[in-house]
Amino acid sequence: MTSLPFYPLRFEPIYQYRLWGGRRLADWLDAPLPGDGPIGEAWLLSDRDEYPSRVAEGPLKGLTISQLMEQSADMILGRLAPRFARFPLLLKLLDVSGMLSVQVHPPDAALDLIPKGDTGKTEAWVVLEAAAESRVYAGLKPGTTPADLRALSKQSVDEYLASFTPVRGQAILIEAGTVHALGQGVVVFEIQENSDITFRLFDWDHTDPRTGHPRALQVEQALACIDFAQGAVGPAAPVAEALESATRERLLDCSHFQVWRIESAAPFPVGAPGVPHILVCIGGGGHIEQAGRDFAMEKGTVMLLPAVIGRCRFRPEDPVTLLAIAVPEHL
């Protein structure tokens, strides 16, 4: 495996049925969705045992990110390799046509709530589409108690949970322990720790049409990991950074991931020596130039730049907007 040349890696999307989903991800991935039911999530980079991403093209086509990590973690993660047994991020597109459950994820320190070998789950959203009725719930209003959250209803959600109307382009950081929900016509790109642990507090009285029953709640586990000191959470404030021939803003910066938005009509550098980067095309298109080869990106394309390939160049075909994602080298 290590004798094979690494290159920018694109993975096959893994589609997930969700009762709150829709059919809009076909527009973002330029591919038909399976079946005719609601697809809420497309997992675009997943090193999960139950849903491992497979390389979509090139010499490594068909291999999973898990297989690549097992055999060549140092080439993928570079200086990060000693810290992680699995690829540390899980990346998704979400089409939330209905309402996501009111939920919370455990922090890394909540070991009694996290299965062995897993982690907590801090996540973030970059809003790609939103409607006038779209809503993000994030954080608690002052004075909210566990008893209030045990008795959540459609009538009381707005009494206890802070919320706002999302706008395309906003980035929202949801630290582990934060009560949250979103929906009513919003599409987001989600960046999260490589974890799939969710505790539901309230599910809007939904019944899953596949089962005819409500989905299970995990109220006591949720209450055990909620940060009751967490106030209202709003969109992050972008920070402008210098980048020759392009506009770059740092959207998010936490201990688990960093996210930038880059806009340009001229070529610009991407990636970095010795550490992996991920590129997400959210507008326009172009090519990654690496070792004399071109790798096309269009709206919805996600590419992993393994650490071993170092810095590359992105050549837009028309004005392009990329998200660039990295894992901080230092905690």
- Domain check: are 253 and 152 in the same one? no
Domains held by the chain: number? 2
**Spatial CB neighbours of 310, under 8 Å, sequence gap ≥ 6:** 271, 272, 273, 274
- Domain check: are 213 and 162 in the same one? yes
Two structure tokens written together for 113:
């709530």
Pick out the chain residues at pLDDT < 50: 1-2
Chain centroid offset of residue 118 CA: 17
Of 172, 200, 225, which one is at a domain's C-terminal end?
225
pLDDT of residue 2: 46
99 belongs to a structural domain: yes
- Domain check: are 36 and 84 in the same one? yes
- Domain check: are 78 and 164 in the same one? yes
Chain position carrying tokens 């809007």: 204
- Domain check: are 272 and 204 in the same one? no
pLDDT of residue 3: 60
Of 195, 225, 255, which one is at a domain's C-terminal end?
225
> Structural domain of residue 290, as residue ranges?
239-326
Q: Compute the distance between CA of residue 10 and CA of residue 61 in angstroms, rounded to an integer.
A: 9
What is the SS3 assignment for 140?
strand
Residue closest to 309 by CA, chosen among 279, 273, 268:
273
Domain containing 165 — which CATH number?
A: 2.60.120.10
In sequence order, the β-bridge partners of residue 262 are 248, 322
- Domain check: are 156 and 221 in the same one? yes
Alpha helices in the chain (DSSP H): 25-29, 65-77, 146-150, 157-160, 219-225
Two structure tokens written together for 125:
């959203």
- Domain check: are 250 and 220 in the same one? no
In a 10 Å sphere around its CB, with 0-12 CB exposed, 13-18 middle and 19+ buried, how is residue 30 labelled?
exposed
51 belongs to a structural domain: yes
- Domain check: are 159 and 262 in the same one? no
Chain centroid offset of residue 298 CA: 18
pLDDT of residue 1: 43
CB atoms within 10 A of CB 153: 10
Q: Torsions phi, psi of 76, nearest 5?
A: -85, -45
Two structure tokens written together for 324:
């660039």
- Domain check: are 31 and 153 in the same one? yes
Which of 5-26 are b and which e, b meaning 16 or more Cβ less than 10 Å from the residue's Cβ?
Answer: ebbbbbbbbbbeebbbbbebbe
pLDDT of residue 242: 86
- Domain check: are 278 and 312 in the same one? yes
**Spatial CB neighbours of 312, under 8 Å, sequence gap ≥ 6:** 8, 269, 270, 271, 288, 289, 290, 305
